[in-house]
Amino acid sequence: TLNAFMAQPRAQWLAVRAALTQLLARDGADPALRESAELRRRCLVPRAEVAMHLPAAIGDYTDFYSSREHATNVGVMFRGKDNALQPNWLHLPVGYHGRASSVVVSGTPVVRPKGQLQLDKADASKGTEHAPCRLLDFELEMGFFVGGPANRLGAPLEMDEAEDRIFGFVLCNDWSARDVQKFEYVPLGPFGAKNFATSISPWVVMAEALLPFRCATSAGSQAEPVPLPYLRDPNYSSYDVQLEVAITPAGGDRAAVVTTSNYRHMYWTAPQQLVHHSVTGCDMRPADLLASGTISGADASAYGSLLELCWQGTREVGPLCDGSTRKFLRDGDTVSMRGTCLHSSGYTLGFGECAGQVLAAATLPPPPPPP
């Protein structure tokens, strides 16, 4: 795993990245790798011949709720347009503690969870049944790994320290059981509806590699209200990462893209999430994973979840390659997420794929590949 490397100071990450860049560059300073086929054979392994694993042993996992467009959409559905955002939302990055043990690498199947489902949608007092989730959803997110030496318990991070503690970014699908969540989330937020699986891509794109793609957030600024001093970021911005989600039905021969979004659609950014997480004195450790929350744009084509795309079950999403449509995920569906940065000079930076197939409830998934 990358745990030991993540625990090093940022200067060490940058030194290793610079050395690798020189080794792999077409006109790099060391010609040995370029000129020796035997050395390349020993050092470079085709991706098709390897099994990818989680990039790190994740200590703690936290999921945020930081896209204003997404939070507004969900709020309109459940509370109406006039009360879409909760009173706290514009004052702090809302988040909850997830389950690190169920963070899985791309390609790992996801078993449809069971839980308590409300018998009467309009009347919770009529009780529940224990049954497979019927409203299984994806959530299009980005995540970042914390790096560097941990801050001491009781010593919050300052905004000017955040850059040195963000190691790199991955794609993230925080699978969600919407009907399980409906009954359980009051008063403490989601629990079983979110703890059964979170998929991430295996490739960690270092924060340094994203600097050429830094851009304004879709909010532009945070003026109404201005955040409290500890959350004010003089470099308030996000990254121009083009994101897409595709679904392949069981037996399908190709994926159908159902949404395209962008990481710029963040109101609360990665540095603000990290600093707020530590504001109470929480120690942030190397290989902790923090996820953005669902990333949605203003246009319906950029919504980051099926809940939004089908607008709470009132619209069909698709068609997929077999002509079928979706409101929520079916058994056998494979959800694939991709992220790409396109530079004006023509080069592309990719995040790889974050994918998972839905298995029927109570299915025993195959074992992971050996380490």
Tokens coding 208: 């340094």
The residues near 27 (Cβ < 8 Å, ≥ 6 apart) are none
Q: Rg for the chain (alpha carbons), in Å?
A: 21
CA distance 146 to 162: 9
Q: Which of 165, 144, 142 is nearest to 283 (CA)?
A: 165
Sign of the CA dihedral running 149, 58, 169, 294: negative
Residue 70 is a catalytic residue? yes
Beta bridge partners of 144: 169, 290
State the Cα torsion 158-163-168-172 to the nearest 10°. 50
Q: Which of 338, 335, 366, 362 is nearest to 350 (CA)?
A: 338
The residues near 275 (Cβ < 8 Å, ≥ 6 apart) are 156, 157, 158, 159, 162, 230, 231
Q: Which of 53, 70, 265, 343 is catalytic?
A: 70
CA 205 to chain centre: 13
Q: Which residue has the tokens 């860049």?
A: 21
Q: How far apart are the first and last CA of the chain?
A: 10
Tally Cβ neighbours within 10 Å of residue 11.
10
Q: Do 88 and 94 meet the contact criterion of CB atoms below 8 Å apart?
A: yes
Q: Do 6 and 286 meet the contact criterion of CB atoms below 8 Å apart?
A: yes
Coil, helix or strand for 20?
helix
Q: Which residue has the tokens 């019927």?
A: 134
The residues near 21 (Cβ < 8 Å, ≥ 6 apart) are 28
The catalytic residues are 70
